[in-house]
C-alpha cells in the first residue's frame, strides 16, 4: 500500500467515528453524528477539519484497545453566511464523547486560533464528561479549555450548543461562553446526575427534571435558547451570529431591506391602556418599531418580566432590553436583574447599541427577594448600564418609579438619549403609594385630593423634561423615527471608562 492509499484509508477510518454500531445507536437516540451537525451548521462545502488523526496515549483500563482517529472530538473551521467561524463537536460514538488530554489539546489549539484571527467559536457538546480512565490528565484538559474560554470572553463570540448529555466538568465550559442553546427532549446539563443526587440527597429525579432543556430555559436560566430538534437549534446559532460582529474590534453588519427606513407606527397610539394598572404586551411595541417587525428574543421562558434580544433598526443590529408589563407588571426581581445585566454587558463587549423600553413600577418586594439578595442582584443591572460605553437609548413608555427608574438606563447613569411618551409617569413612586405615606392619617376626601395633586405634579414626564432628565417627549407613532435618529446621532460615540484592571461588579 503506497502513501496515498494509506492516507485514504486513514481518512475513511476517521470518518466512521466509533463505527457502524455506535453510529446506529446515536441515530436511535434521535441524534445526528458530530460531522452531520457541523454540515448542517456551516455553509455548504466550507468545513475544513483539523487534527483528524490525533490519538490518545492512555493505556489504563483497556483504553489501548479503544483508539480512534480524532479521539472523539471533530475540530475545524468553516463559514456561516460567508463569515469565518471555528467549530468543535464532541463525537458521542467514540468513547461516549469523553474528554481526555489529547482531544482537549485539539480544542485548545482551535480556541487559540479563533482568538488570533478574531472569529467566533462554536462548541457542539455531546459528551459524558471527563474520561475517567485518564484521571487527572482529563481534568487538566478541561482546565486548559476553561482558561481559554475566559481569555476569549469579550473578544470573540463564544456559543455552546448542548446536543446530548453534558455532565460534570463538561458543564463549565458552556457556562463560561456567551450563549447556551439546548435541544428539547434530547439534551441535558447537570453537574451531578440523577444517580448521584439520589445517593446524596435521596431525591428521585429524571434527567429531564434535573437538567433538561425546559428546566434550564425556564427555571435555572442556564439556557438562552431551546430548539425543537437539532436542525432548529443549529439554525438558531446561524441567526444569532447574524446580529453579532465577529470580534470586539469589528462593527456589526448593517443590512438594508424593504423596512430599513423611517416610518410611522400608528398602532402604538392605542396600544398602551389609559388605565396605568392594565397590562399590555411590550413585545407588540418592540415588533412594531424594529425592522420587518422581527425581534429575536433571548431567554424568553426565564424571568418573563423583562425582555432581552436582538433586532435591527434602520438596518443596524441593536440589543433590546424591555420591561414586560404583561408579567408581574414588569417589576425587577433577582432573576430579571441577572438576565438583563449579562445581556447588557454582552452588547457592550461587542459594541452593539442598547435600546431600552421602560415601563417599571419598581423592584419586587417581599422576604424571598430580600433574603435572596435583591439588593446585590439589582445592583448588577445598575452596574451593567453604567459601565456600558455603547450608544444607549431609553424610551419610557409608561411607569418609571423610584430605584427602578434609576437602574433602567436613566440620564444620570450615562444614557445618551432619553425619551418618553406623554403618558409617562416618572416619580419616586405611584400616586397611591405616595399618598399612603404622606397622608396616612388624612381623611379619605383629603387623600383623594392629594392624589390628584400628586398626579398633576409628578405622574407625567414634564417635570423630568424641565430638568433635562428627559431629552424629548414624543408621540407613540413617532417611536421608530425618534430611535433611528438617536442611533444615527450616536453611531460615532467614543467613550471610555477610567483606566483600571477591571471593575468589581456585584456578583
The answer, yes or no, to whether residue 446 has pLDDT greater than 70, is no
Higher pLDDT, 96 or 4: 4
Give the containing element (helix H, strand E) for 17.
none
Sign (positive or negative) of CA dihedral 319, 343, 217, 395: negative
The answer, yes or no, to whether residue 319 has pLDDT greater than 90, is yes
The answer, yes or no, to whether residue 281 has pLDDT greater than 90, is yes
> To 10 degrees, the CA torsion angle through 340, 183, 163, 232?
-100
Quote the CA–CA distance of 49 and 75 in Å, as a whole number.
6
- What's the pLDDT at 60? 72
Quote the CA–CA distance of 458 and 89 in Å, as a whole number.
57
Question: Annotated catalytic residue: which of 403, 414, 433, 472?
Answer: 403
Q: Catalytic residue at 404?
A: yes
Band the pLDDT of 435: cuts 50, 70, 90: low
Q: What angle do CA 252, 256, 261 make, to 5 degrees?
A: 110
The answer, yes or no, to whether residue 72 has pLDDT greater than 80, is yes
Q: What share of the chain is helix, strand, coil (3-state, %, to 5)?
A: 45, 20, 35
What is the mean predicted confidence (pLDDT) over 159-169? 90
- Radius of gyration (Cα) for the chain, nearest Å? 26
Which among 394, 397, 417, 418 has a CA at the least distance from the CA of 268? 397
What tens digit of pLDDT does each residue of 335-375 get? 999 999 999 999 999 999 999 999 999 999 999 999 999 99
Three cell numbers, residue 404: 427602578
Band the pLDDT of 61: cuts 50, 70, 90: low
Q: Catalytic residue at 102?
A: no
Band the pLDDT of 130: cuts 50, 70, 90: confident
Three cell numbers, residue 3: 502513501
The answer, yes or no, to whether residue 66 has pLDDT greater than 80, is no
What are the φ and ψ backbone dihedral angles of 49, each rounded to 5 degrees? -80, 145
- What's the pLDDT at 244? 97
Quote the CA–CA distance of 5 and 11 in Å, as a whole number.
10
What tens digit of pLDDT does each residue of 168-189 get? 878 999 999 999 999 999 999 9
Higher pLDDT, 440 or 192: 192
The answer, yes or no, to whether residue 41 has pLDDT greater than 90, is yes
296 and 318 Cβ atoms separated by less than 8 Å: no
Residue 394: CB atoms within 10 A of its CB come to 26
Which among 349, 369, 322 has a CA at the least distance from the CA of 177? 349
The answer, yes or no, to whether residue 62 has pLDDT greater than 70, is no
The answer, yes or no, to whether residue 255 has pLDDT greater than 80, is yes
Strand-strand pairing, 188-190 and 179-183: unpaired
Least confident range of 11-20, 413-422, 436-445, 465-474: 436-445
The answer, yes or no, to whether residue 431 has pLDDT greater than 80, is no
- What's the pLDDT at 169? 78
Mean pLDDT of the chain: 91
Question: Annotated catalytic residue: which of 17, 168, 211, 212?
Answer: 168
The answer, yes or no, to whether residue 432 has pLDDT greater than 90, is no
Sign (positive or negative) of CA dihedral 272, 273, 275, 280: negative
The answer, yes or no, to whether residue 333 has pLDDT greater than 70, is yes
Residue 61: CB atoms within 10 A of its CB come to 12
Higher pLDDT, 111 or 96: 111
- What's the pLDDT at 332? 97
Quote the CA–CA distance of 211 and 166 in Å, as a whole number.
9
Band the pLDDT of 427: cuts 50, 70, 90: confident
Least confident range of 52-56, 118-122, 149-153, 408-412: 52-56
Quote the CA–CA distance of 320 and 297 in Å, as a whole number.
9
Instruction: List C-alpha distances in Å: 321 to 243, 296, 342, 354.
Output: 15, 12, 11, 7
What is the mean predicted confidence (pLDDT) over 492-497? 92
State what percent of residues in the chain have pLDDT above 70: 93
Query: What is the per-residue DSSP string for 319-368?
Result: EEEEE-TTTGGG-B-HHHHHHHHHHHHHHHHTT--EEEEEEE--BPPSHH
Three cell numbers, residue 83: 463569515
What is the mean predicted confidence (pLDDT) over 59-66? 69
Q: Catalytic residue at 169?
A: yes
246: which DSSP letter? Answer: S
Three cell numbers, residue 476: 407613540
What are the φ and ψ backbone dihedral angles of 397, each rounded to 5 degrees? -90, -25
Three cell numbers, residue 17: 467515528
C-alpha count within 13 angstroms, C-beta hemisphere, residue 234: 22
What is the mean predicted confidence (pLDDT) over 239-250? 97
What is the mean predicted confidence (pLDDT) over 268-294? 96
C-alpha count within 13 angstroms, C-beta hemisphere, residue 67: 13
Residue 93 CB partners (closer than 8 Å, separation 6+) = 17, 18, 19, 22, 23, 25, 26, 33, 34
- What's the pLDDT at 100? 84
264 and 477 Cβ atoms separated by less than 8 Å: yes
* Residue 80 C-alpha from the chain's centroid: 19
Residues comprising the chain, all counted: 507
> To 10 degrees, the CA torsion angle through 420, 423, 424, 428?
150
What is the mean predicted confidence (pLDDT) over 284-304? 98
Three cell numbers, residue 286: 418592540
Quote the CA–CA distance of 90 and 76 in Å, as a whole number.
12
Least confident range of 19-33, 104-118, 141-155, 414-428: 19-33
- What's the pLDDT at 225? 98
- What's the pLDDT at 58? 64
Using DSSP's 3-state secondary structure scheme, residue 419 falls into strand
- What's the pLDDT at 132? 67
Band the pLDDT of 462: cuts 50, 70, 90: very high
The answer, yes or no, to whether residue 434 has pLDDT greater than 70, is no
Question: Annotated catalytic residue: which of 123, 138, 161, 404?
Answer: 404
The answer, yes or no, to whether residue 469 has pLDDT greater than 80, is yes
262 and 484 Cβ atoms separated by less than 8 Å: yes
Band the pLDDT of 9: cuts 50, 70, 90: confident
What are the φ and ψ backbone dihedral angles of 464, each rounded to 5 degrees? -65, -40
Outline where DSSP puts E strands in 198-300. Answer: 225-227, 296-298
State what percent of residues in the chain have pLDDT above 90: 70
Which among 98, 126, 108 has a CA at the least distance from the CA of 29? 126
What tens digit of pLDDT does each residue of 117-127 get? 999 999 999 98
55 and 4 Cβ atoms separated by less than 8 Å: no
Least confident range of 51-65, 69-83, 116-130, 281-295: 51-65
240 and 296 Cβ atoms separated by less than 8 Å: yes
Give the pTM. Answer: 0.94
Q: Catalytic residue at 119?
A: no
Which among 123, 124, 127, 64 has a CA at the least distance from the CA of 95? 127
Amino acid at each position: 500500500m503506497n502513501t496515498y492509499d494509506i492516507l485514504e484509508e486513514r481518512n475513511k477510518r476517521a470518518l466512521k467515528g466509533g463505527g457502524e454500531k455506535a453510529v446506529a445507536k446515536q441515530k436511535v437516540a434521535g441524534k445526528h453524528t458530530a460531522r452531520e451537525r457541523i454540515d448542517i451548521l456551516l455553509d455548504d462545502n466550507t468545513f475544513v477539519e483539523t487534527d483528524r488523526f490525533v490519538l490518545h496515549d492512555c493505556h489504563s483500563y483497556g483504553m489501548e484497545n479503544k483508539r480512534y482517529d480524532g479521539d472523539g472530538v471533530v475540530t475545524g473551521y468553516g463559514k456561516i453566511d460567508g463569515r469565518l467561524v471555528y467549530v468543535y463537536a464532541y463525537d458521542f460514538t467514540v468513547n461516549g464523547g469523553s474528554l481526555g488530554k489529547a482531544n482537549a489539546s485539539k480544542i485548545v489549539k482551535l480556541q487559540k486560533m479563533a482568538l488570533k484571527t478574531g472569529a467566533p467559536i462554536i462548541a457542539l457538546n455531546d459528551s459524558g464528561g471527563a474520561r475517567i480512565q485518564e484521571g487527572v490528565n482529563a481534568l487538566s484538559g478541561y482546565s486548559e479549555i476553561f482558561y481559554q474560554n475566559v481569555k476569549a470572553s469579550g473578544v470573540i463570540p463564544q456559543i455552546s450548543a448542548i446536543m446530548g448529555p453534558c455532565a460534570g466538568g463538561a458543564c463549565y465550559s458552556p457556562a463560561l461562553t456567551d450563549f447556551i442553546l439546548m435541544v428539547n427532549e434530547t439534551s441535558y446539563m447537570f453537574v451531578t446526575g440523577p444517580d448521584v443526587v439520589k445517593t446524596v440527597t435521596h431525591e428521585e429525579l429524571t434527567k429531564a427534571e434535573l437538567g433538561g432543556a425546559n428546566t434550564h430555559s425556564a427555571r435555572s436560566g442556564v439556557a438562552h435558547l431551546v430548539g425543537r430538534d437539532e436542525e432548529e437549534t443549529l439554525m438558531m446559532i446561524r441567526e444569532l451570529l447574524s446580529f453579532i460582529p465577529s470580534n470586539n474590534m469589528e462593527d456589526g453588519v448593517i443590512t438594508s431591506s424593504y423596512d430599513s427606513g423611517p416610518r410611522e407606527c400608528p398602532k402604538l397610539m392605542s396600544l398602551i391602556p389609559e388605565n396605568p394598572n392594565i397590562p399590555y404586551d411590550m413585545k407588540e411595541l418592540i415588533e412594531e418599531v424594529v425592522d420587518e417587525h422581527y425581534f429575536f428574543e433571548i431567554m424568553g421562558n426565564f424571568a418573563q418580566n423583562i425582555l432581552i434580544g436582538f433586532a435591527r433598526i434602520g438596518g443596524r443590529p441593536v440589543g433590546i432590553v424591555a420591561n414586560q408589563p404583561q408579567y408581574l407588571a414588569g417589576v425587577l426581581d433577582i432573576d430579571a436583574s441577572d438576565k438583563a445585566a449579562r445581556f447588557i454587558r454582552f452588547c457592550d463587549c461587542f459594541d452593539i447599541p442598547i435600546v431600552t423600553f421602560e415601563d417599571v413600577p419598581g423592584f419586587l418586594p417581599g422576604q424571598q427577594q430580600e433574603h435572596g439578595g435583591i439588593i446585590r442582584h439589582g445592583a448588577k443591572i445598575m452596574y451593567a448600564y453604567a459601565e456600558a460605553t455603547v450608544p444607549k437609548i431609553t424610551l419610557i413608555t409608561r411607569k418609571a418609579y423610584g430605584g427602578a427608574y434609576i437602574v433602567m438606563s436613566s440620564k444620570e447613569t450615562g444614557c445618551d438619549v432619553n425619551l418618553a411618551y406623554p403618558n409617562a409617569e416618572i416619580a419616586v413612586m405611584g400616586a397611591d403609594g405616595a399618598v399612603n405615606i404622606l397622608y396616612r392619617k388624612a381623611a379619605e376626601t383629603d387623600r383623594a385630593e392629594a392624589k390628584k395633586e400628586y398626579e398633576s405634579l409628578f405622574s407625567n414626564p414634564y417635570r423630568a423634561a424641565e430638568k433635562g432628565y428627559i431629552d424629548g417627549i414624543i408621540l407613540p407613532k413617532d417611536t421608530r423615527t425618534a430611535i433611528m435618529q438617536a442611533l444615527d446621532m450616536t453611531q460615532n460615540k467614543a467613550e471610555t471608562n477610567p483606566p483600571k484592571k477591571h471593575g468589581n461588579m456585584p456578583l
